Amino acid sequence: MKKFVSLTLAALMAFSLAACSGSESAATSSQSVAPTEAPAANEAPAAAEAPSASEAAGADSEPAEGTEAAASETTDGGNILVAYFSWSGNTETMANMIAEDAGGTLFEIEPATPYTDDYDTLLDVAQQEQADNARPGLAATVENWDSYDVVFVGYPDWWSDAPMLIYSFLESYDWAGKTLVPFCTSGGSGFGRSLDKLPDSAPGATILEGLHVSGSSVDGAADQVAEWVAGLNL
């Protein structure tokens, strides 16, 4: 009997380890979590994570929709754009790492009407946007889009998909001849359904293997990000 219990426990442990090991890896396929369920506690942003300054800013401080905004920072890779949306800062941290490793220009994708700062309200807003297949307005557009050959696009997983704002962004540009490199942070779902949807919203783009990092691990992910960027051979 004892032996049976030990064997059962060993099997359970092996299963848990296998289940955990895939949470921070380069994405080769989409993962899916039922969109009708609220993100589990371990998938939610930590309570201590405050919304980014840009999210906290009022609508009046945002450029009007359709206006062109210069990207916020330029480094060596003149043909590389690192575009990202981040509500509570994790994806922004990853975007900064990528910009440092790959060079290029950072561009924050922001909604014309800022999202609420309240997490619980945001869960409902995000779920409704997804149910409506909405395309929320963008605060600004990328200047000199034609000058970029490679565009990293980063976002948090929202309800096992990209925020609808990402599809607004993708569908605002001509992707013919561009290389799109997705990256994502989440509580554990990874890219969710978003990888399967990117080609329709960015027709003509060559889509490279993306990287997902767990939001709670992003601060320590610099080496992982650097290795991934180097492997892209841009």
Query: Where on the chain is the footprint of ligand FMN (CB under 6 A)?
Result: 33, 39, 43-45, 86-92, 122-123, 126, 156-160, 185-189, 215
Structure tokens given for 216:
């709670």
Q: Would you mind telling me the total number of residues written for the chain in this entry? A: 234
Other Cβ atoms less than 10 A from the Cβ of 76: the count is 8
CA–CA dist 90, 218 (Å, integer)? 6
Query: How far does Cα 193 stand from its chain's mean position?
Result: 12
Is the Cβ–Cβ distance between 110 and 54 less than 8 Å?
yes
Nearer Cβ to ligand FMN (111/188): 188
Minimum gap (Å) between residue 96 Cβ and ligand FMN: 11
Nearer Cβ to ligand FMN (47/64): 47
Nearer Cβ to ligand FMN (33/165): 33
Closest CA to 35 of 214, 216, 197, 210: 197
Minimum gap (Å) between residue 191 Cβ and ligand FMN: 10
Minimum gap (Å) between residue 4 Cβ and ligand FMN: 36
Nearer Cβ to ligand FMN (52/178): 52
Residue nearest to ligand FMN as judged by C-beta position: 215
Minimum gap (Å) between residue 79 Cβ and ligand FMN: 25
Nearer Cβ to ligand FMN (68/196): 196
Minimum gap (Å) between residue 65 Cβ and ligand FMN: 21
Q: How far apart are the first and last CA of the chain?
A: 58
> Reduced to 3 DSSP states, what percent helix, strand and coil does the chain have, rounded to the nearest 5?
40, 20, 45
CA–CA dist 181, 205 (Å, integer)? 10
